[in-house]
């Protein structure tokens, strides 16, 4: 049976999606989700959004718009697990468990934190001015997102590779401290898509909200047409040959057209197609491809209860994985029910009562000695006198180390020898049979228990 690869994708919930977001991230991710060998998890990273945004209305609106965008774009919630990060209470709890094992030195090296510190130092400010614990511990929350679902692959941009590596480091640390031979966390790998489309904006720079040069994805057809009309072009008039290879407009067209459509459009530009008509062709292409999705998007926006139902079902699927797993992790770190703890303690005590045990004591002359008592409380051995407790303890530990015993019969008793010297002796027994039975009991008592 082939193991499905679990892929986890976090979706930032700030801002309204634009055409560049769709071509560069949303469309390829939705296509990837249809791979039958992939077990895909997609989540709205709304806890992360709180790090950068303190406007509640913007957070709420962005979550709504981004959820509607992915669903309208064709994400099949029957094939994938689609949920809001904030609907999974196990994630912040896991974040704390991981915080308790994450090294501060590791977090000091996080790119976002270092960039903030460097900026403050350059400005002559306190190094940590304006740095919140949200920003500082962001990598731990991201690690919890990834490790909670034991994702094998995490699609990220190059600026996020470090965070996936940090998730590995933190997960390995937890496994080492609490695993006791069990690997609770799978080590994730960053999945870098080398061919991610980067679309130019209206002014030719990378399409970005920070440049205010975006083309809206699912706003009205009129808004899209108005935005396209503002694409910067050169001054060549209709009838003059255009240069498709240096045209932002052609790059945008090519990102959504078939090879045949691109070739035809290229030819027309070379033959002198006017920029006004070229923009009209681009709008028509985008409207044809995105029109139905736009309608679905607005239906979701107008009926947020439908979105809520979908996300709650997604949260239920996600928690079916997260809840039992977190219970395992709680057990691993010692956050257990008192009832189970009492049961474990009782069982341990019962086992201890049936086992042989060493008892150390100080003799009247001030020397140190130990006894070995059988499971029934019968004295099997009494050590020689030792000048100090450390030596007596070392001898006792050596007898319990599991190494072969040098037991020598002495009339109706026996002695135990270490390094050529007798270190402990038994009492005298009634007969040889009783002595031999005691020797057998001694060997059993000093044989390490097998799991």
* Same-domain check for residues 283 and 309: no
Q: How high is the pLDDT of residue 287?
A: 95
Domain tally for the chain?
3
Strand, helix or coil at 382? strand
* Same-domain check for residues 146 and 47: yes
Pairing of strands 38-45, 5-12: parallel
* Same-domain check for residues 370 and 436: yes
Q: How high is the pLDDT of residue 352?
A: 43
Q: How high is the pLDDT of residue 437?
A: 80
Q: Is residue 14 part of an annotated ligand binding site?
A: yes
Partner residues linked to 359 by β-bridges: 371
Q: How high is the pLDDT of residue 353?
A: 43
* Same-domain check for residues 69 and 40: yes
Residue 314: give the domain boundaries.
Answer: 5-197+302-333
Residue 326 maps to a domain? yes
- Within 8 A by CB and 6+ apart from 275, the residues are 233, 236, 238, 242, 249
Residue 350 maps to a domain? no
Are the CB atoms for 252 and 214 separated by under 8 Å? no
Burial of 68 per CB tally in 10 Å (0-12, 13-18, 19+): buried
Q: Is residue 158 part of an annotated ligand binding site?
A: yes
Mean per-residue pLDDT, 192-205: 80
Mean pLDDT for all residues in the chain: 89
CA 112 – CA 50 distance, rounded (Å): 15
Residue 340 maps to a domain? no
Q: Is residue 206 part of an annotated ligand binding site?
A: yes
CA 245 – CA 95 distance, rounded (Å): 48
* Same-domain check for residues 68 and 126: yes
Mean per-residue pLDDT, 302-314: 96
* Same-domain check for residues 25 and 145: yes
Provide the 8-state DSSP code for 450: P
* Same-domain check for residues 99 and 32: yes
The residue ranges of DSSP E strands in 171-225, in sequence order, are 189-191
Q: How high is the pLDDT of residue 259?
A: 94
CA 166 – CA 403 distance, rounded (Å): 43
CA 300 – CA 307 distance, rounded (Å): 6
Q: Is residue 209 part of an annotated ligand binding site?
A: yes
- pLDDT > 70: percent of the chain: 93
Phi–psi pair at 205, nearest 5 degrees: -75, 170
Mean per-residue pLDDT, 217-225: 91
Q: Is residue 380 part of an annotated ligand binding site?
A: no
Are the CB atoms for 141 and 89 separated by under 8 Å? no
Q: Is the pLDDT of residue 1 over 60?
A: no
CA 273 – CA 267 distance, rounded (Å): 9
Q: Is residue 76 part of an annotated ligand binding site?
A: no
Q: Is residue 220 part of an annotated ligand binding site?
A: no
Choose among 169, 118, 164: nearest CA to 145: 164
Highest mean pLDDT among 91-100, 185-194, 382-391 belongs to 91-100
* Same-domain check for residues 251 and 174: no
Q: Is the pLDDT of residue 403 over 80?
A: no
Q: What is the pLDDT of residues 415-442, one digit of tens each?
A: 888 888 888 888 887 778 888 888 887 7
Q: What is the pLDDT of residues 26-35, one digit of tens each?
A: 998 999 899 9
Q: What is the pLDDT of residues 349-388, one digit of tens each?
A: 544 445 677 888 777 777 888 888 777 667 788 888 888 8
Q: Is the pLDDT of residue 67 over 70?
A: yes
Are the CB atoms for 207 and 215 separated by under 8 Å? yes
Q: How high is the pLDDT of residue 366?
A: 78
* CATH code at position 420: 2.30.29.80
* Same-domain check for residues 58 and 188: yes
* Same-domain check for residues 121 and 75: yes
Q: What is the pLDDT of residues 291-301, one digit of tens each?
A: 999 999 999 99
Are the CB atoms for 114 and 120 separated by under 8 Å? no
Q: Is residue 390 part of an annotated ligand binding site?
A: no
Residue 351 maps to a domain? no
Q: How high is the pLDDT of residue 175?
A: 95
Choose among 163, 142, 115: nearest CA to 49: 142
Choose among 117, 108, 119, 189: nearest CA to 155: 189
| Residue bearing the bigger pLDDT, 166 or 405 | 166
Residue 352 maps to a domain? no
Q: Is residue 157 part of an annotated ligand binding site?
A: yes
Mean per-residue pLDDT, 212-239: 92
The number of residues in the chain equals 451
Are the CB atoms for 442 and 399 separated by under 8 Å? no
Strand, helix or coil at 381? strand
Q: Is residue 20 part of an annotated ligand binding site?
A: yes
């Amino acid at each position: 049976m082939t193991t499905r690869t679990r892929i986890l994708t976090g979706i930032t919930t700030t801002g309204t999606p634009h055409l560049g977001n769709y071509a560069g991230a949303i469309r390829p991710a939705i296509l990837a989700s249809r791979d039958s060998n992939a077990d895909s998890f997609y989540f709205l990273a709304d806890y992360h959004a709180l790090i950068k945004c303190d406007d509640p209305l913007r957070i709420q609106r962005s979550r709504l718009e981004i959820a509607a965008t992915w669903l309208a774009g064709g994400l099949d919630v029957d094939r994938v697990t689609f949920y809001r990060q904030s609907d999974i209470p196990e994630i912040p709890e896991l974040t704390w468990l991981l915080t308790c094992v994450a090294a501060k030195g590791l977090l000091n090296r996080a790119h976002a934190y270092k960039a903030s510190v460097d900026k403050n130092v350059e400005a002559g400010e306190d190094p940590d001015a304006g740095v919140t614990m949200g920003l500082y511990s962001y990598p731990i929350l991201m690690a919890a997102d990834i490790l909670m679902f034991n994702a094998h692959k995490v699609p990220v941009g190059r600026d996020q590779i470090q965070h996936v590596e940090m998730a590995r480091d933190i997960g390995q640390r937890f496994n080492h401290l609490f695993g006791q031979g069990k690997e609770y966390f799978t080590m994730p790998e960053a999945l870098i898509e080398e061919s991610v489309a980067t679309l130019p904006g209206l002014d030719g720079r990378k399409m970005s909200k920070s440049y205010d040069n975006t083309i809206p994805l699912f706003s009205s057809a009129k808004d899209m047409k108005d935005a396209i009309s503002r694409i910067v072009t050169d001054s060549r008039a209709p009838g003059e040959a255009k240069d498709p290879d240096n045209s932002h407009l052609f790059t945008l067209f090519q990102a959504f057209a078939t090879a045949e459509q691109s070739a035809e459009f290229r030819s027309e530009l070379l033959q002198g197609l006017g920029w006004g008509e070229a923009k009209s062709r681009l709008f028509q292409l985008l409207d044809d491809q995105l029109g139905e999705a736009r309608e679905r998007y607005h239906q979701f926006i107008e009926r947020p209860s439908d979105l809520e139902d979908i996300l709650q079902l997604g949260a239920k699927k996600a928690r079916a994985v997260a809840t039992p797993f977190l219970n395992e992790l709680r057990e691993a770190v010692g956050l257990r029910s008192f009832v189970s703890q009492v049961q474990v303690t009782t069982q341990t005590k019962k086992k201890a009562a049936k086992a042989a045990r060493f008892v150390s004591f100080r003799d009247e002359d001030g020397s140190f000695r130990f006894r070995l008592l059988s499971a029934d409380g019968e004295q099997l051995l009494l050590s020689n006198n030792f000048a100090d407790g450390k030596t007596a303890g070392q001898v006792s530990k050596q007898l319990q180390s599991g190494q072969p015993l040098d037991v020598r019969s002495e009339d109706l008793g026996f002695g135990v020898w270490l390094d050529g010297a007798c270190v402990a002796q038994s009492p005298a027994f009634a007969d040889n049979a009783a002595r031999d039975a005691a020797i057998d009991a001694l060997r059993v008592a000093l044989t390490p228990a097998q799991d």
